[in-house]
Amino acid sequence: MLTGLALWLVSFYVEAQRRPKPADATVGHGVEESIFTEGMKFMMMDEPARAVPQFEKVIQLYPEQPAAYFALAQALMKQGKTEEALPRAQKAVQLDGGSNKYYALQLAELYVKQKRYADAEKLYEELIRKSPDNIEYGVELAAIYLFDEKPDKALDMYDKVEKSLGLNEEITRQKQRIYLKQNKVDKAIQEAERLVASEPSEPEYLLEGAELLLENNRADEAARWLDRALKINPDLPQAHIMLADLYRRQGNLEKTSQELNFVFANPNLEADAKARILASYLGLVGNDQKAQQNALNLARELAKAHPNDAKSQIIYGDLLVQQNQKAEARKHYLRAIQLDKSVFEVWAAIIQIDGEMNQMDSVLTHTEQALEIFPNQGMFWFYNGMAHYIRKDYKQAVESLEEARRLLAGNPKVLKDVNAQLGDAYNGLGDHARSDEAYELVLKEDPDNDHVLNNYSYFLSLRKEKLPLALQLSERLVERNQDNPTYLDTHAWVLYVMKDYTKARTFLEKAVKDEQKASGTILEHYGDVLFQLGERDKAVEQWKKAKQKGETSDRLDKKIATGKIYE
């Protein structure tokens, strides 16, 4: 912009000096110079709005001066006022008669902004016609041809620019894009060959050409280009990874492995680069078992060779998870976070594996560590709350779950699980009002949530409160889960509390049908129902079975000893 301002300022003074001067011309010229200088100062201060009135004053004094219109148009363009700038730019070109190329370029820019491509093309074509020195503007003209959907004219112009100025990498790539859009792959390859010929010792151009061929399903030609690149530099990792991909597509897994092994055997290749290559390969193997196994072997060697590279440990951990070797995967994830604690996904993977392995102490430890780095991650608060609940630390569980609820307010799907767990935790604290409220929030969004239907109805039955609601919830539960022993037991216990022992027996008999799956709680409940129905000996028999299973009430031994129930 400053170059342009200097040019039009010089142009203004030259033009002003050529004009016939009145008697007081010396004083007048000083005034104009002052106004112009003031306008230019505002432009250099990036205050075009203050420059506009200065240039307008100059136009009032010199209405036939093209440089003043150019300056005014420039100030308006800086403010985004292209429609106002256009007539000023047109006036500058008209008054100048086409001799100043900067005026034409400004007007062409405004035409392009208003999508008047044909008008812009004429200006550029005239510029180039007038002087061979202006051929550099052919690049801009070619771009306008493309905007105007004239690809052949763009190609012709690119050829003229290159003929005059020599091979240009960016122009060549643009020509390739045009040819590929026209489905002229051979033409695009010819352009790639020109780049290779310009730098015969540069293998990167050969790799680009090979990639182009692979993308257009010309594997045999791509292999020949890669071979040419490897003759220049046999250690090119990208060439070998592309060959591995090519062989994989052909189903030749043996050669695929050979190429990858060659890359990983390169001692000069950094661990980070190897990790990136292996990651790209993982995206190619799909469900191919052999390829997956080879990737696993490579990842193992990578992790072993680079124990202090976090990415290598993560990739190996990811592959171990795919192979369902989760305990081993966790070891490498834990090693990765020792090296780099900033990767959220690794913490999430560790905590998920902890949960799946039912190691709540580990869940607690790792969520607390993760929350030191990611205090605003609601999922970590959720898992932390779950771990505290399982450890029966209900107060801490509630605090963590409430924080999770706050942070996950915008995620309805997860919020459901948080509220369900909060219902359990508040019940553990004996805060039944908040427990019921949390359960109701879940059922409002998901009336068939099995976890809430089960726990809410069971806790209500233990409290002997809202029993009609408890019955309604447990009925819905067993309608949906007719063979689940735990849910059948819940419904039966609601019936038991409501003293409908006969019906309770029906559901408990279904629950204990497979005694191996029946818990001690279910068997104890079955004994309680039998006792209420007057079958004392059978009740004691079930209580004894319950004792062998465990997970029973603290009154079971007394029931067995006395043959009676103590409410």
Confidence of residue 16 (pLDDT cuts 50, 70, 90): very low
pLDDT at 14: 43
Report d(CA 165, CA 396) in Å as an integer. 73
Report the pLDDT value the prediction gives residue 267, as an integer from 0 to 100: 73
Q: How far, in Å, CA of 332 to CA of 310, rounded?
A: 9
Which of 80-89, 300-309, 421-430, 471-480 has the least mean pLDDT? 300-309
At residue 505, the pLDDT reads 96
Judged against a pLDDT cut of 80, whether residue 5 lies above it is answered with no
To which residue do tokens 């010396």 refer? Answer: 26
Residue-wise pLDDT for 23-49, tens only, equals: 333 334 556 668 878 888 898 888 999
For the ranges 108-117, 300-309, 434-443, the lowest mean pLDDT is seen at 300-309
Summarised one tens digit per residue, pLDDT across range 339-349 is 999 999 999 99
Which one has a higher pLDDT value, 251 or 485? 485
The percentage of the chain sitting over the pLDDT mark of 70, rounded to a whole number, equals 92
Q: Which of 181, 171, 107, 115 is nearest to 148 (CA)?
A: 115
Which tens digits make up the pLDDT trace of 58-76? 888 888 888 889 999 999 9
Helices 203-215 and 219-232: angle between axes, nearest 10 degrees: 170
The predicted pLDDT at position 286 comes to 65
Q: How many whole angstroms separate alpha carbon 35 and alpha carbon 51?
A: 10
The whole-number pLDDT of residue 419 equals 97
**450-457: long-range pairs with CB below 8 Å, 24+:** 450/477, 450/480, 450/481, 450/487, 451/420, 452/420, 452/423, 453/477, 454/486, 454/487, 454/490, 455/420, 455/423, 455/424, 455/427, 456/423, 457/490, 457/491, 457/494
pLDDT value of residue 235: 82
Contact 385, 400 (CB under 8 A): yes
| Residue 72 to residue 50: CA distance in whole angstroms | 11
Predicted local distance difference test score (pLDDT) of residue 283: 64
Question: Which of 446, 466, 526 lies closest to 456, judged by CA?
Answer: 466
Looking at residue 299, its pLDDT comes to 85
C-alpha dihedral sign at 527, 530, 531, 532: positive
Which of 55-59, 71-75, 381-385 tops mean pLDDT? Answer: 381-385
Average of per-residue pLDDT values in the chain:
88
In the predicted model, what is the mean pLDDT of residues 285-308?
79
Handedness of CA 380, 382, 386, 391 (dihedral sign): positive
Question: How confident is the model over 259-273, as pLDDT tens digits?
Answer: 878 877 777 777 877
Across residues 499-523, what is the average pLDDT? 92
What's residue 534's pLDDT? 93
Q: Concatenate the DSSP letters of all residues of 296-339 into one string.
A: HHHHHHHHHH-TT-HHHHHHHHHHHHHTT-HHHHHHHHHHHHHH
pLDDT tops 80 at residue 287: no
Which pLDDT score, from 0 to 100, does residue 396 have? 97
Confidence of residue 306 (pLDDT cuts 50, 70, 90): confident
**How many angstroms separate the CA atoms of 387 and 401, rounded?**
11
> Which alpha helices (H) appear in 412-535, and where do they start and end?
412-429, 432-445, 450-463, 467-480, 485-497, 501-511, 520-532
Q: Does residue 251 have a pLDDT over 70?
A: yes
Go through 42-74 and write b for each residue having 16 or more CB atoms within 10 A of its CB, e for each that does not: bbeeeebeebbebbbbbbeebeebbbbbbbbbb
Q: Can you give the pLDDT at residue 18?
A: 42
Q: How many residues does the chain have?
A: 567
Q: Are 66 and 96 in contact (CB under 8 A)?
A: yes
Query: How far apart are the C-alpha atoms of 491 and 477, rounded to whole Å?
Result: 8
What is d(CA 94, CA 104) in angstroms, rounded to the nearest whole number?
A: 10
Residue 507 has pLDDT above 90, yes or no: yes
Ranges of H-type helices in 148-202: 151-165, 169-181, 185-198
> In sequence order, what are the residues at sequence separation of 6 or more whose Cβ sits closer than 8 angstroms to the Cβ of residue 239?
203, 207, 210, 226, 229, 230, 233
